[in-house]
């Protein structure tokens, strides 16, 4: 799968982080996750759209 920032070989492990609070970046990296699935509705509710907008401005996505 060719993405704008990288290529992800499939099939691949793709954790759903929509409501996951138990894993951090290091955990995902150690598991070999190259891509994550996040539900935008859940991100809108928690943390909220302002936090996501701020992170988007400060993080290379």
β-partners of residue 16 are: 37
Share of the chain above pLDDT 70, in %: 84
Domain of residue 50: give its range.
Answer: 1-61
What pLDDT was estimated at residue 3?
Answer: 84
13 in Cβ contact with 23 (< 8 Å):
no
Grade residue 42 by pLDDT with cuts at 50, 70 and 90: confident
d(CA 30, CA 59): 21
Enter the tokens of residue 45.
């509710």
Grade residue 18 by pLDDT with cuts at 50, 70 and 90: low
Overall domain count for the chain: 1
What pLDDT was estimated at residue 9?
Answer: 87
């Amino acid at each position: 799968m060719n993405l704008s920032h990288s290529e992800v070989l499939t099939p691949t492990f793709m954790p759903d982080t929509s409501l996951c609070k138990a894993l951090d970046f290091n955990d995902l990296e150690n598991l070999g996750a190259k891509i994550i699935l996040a539900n935008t509705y859940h991100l809108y509710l928690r943390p909220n759209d302002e936090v996501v907008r701020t992170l988007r401005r400060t993080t290379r996505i």
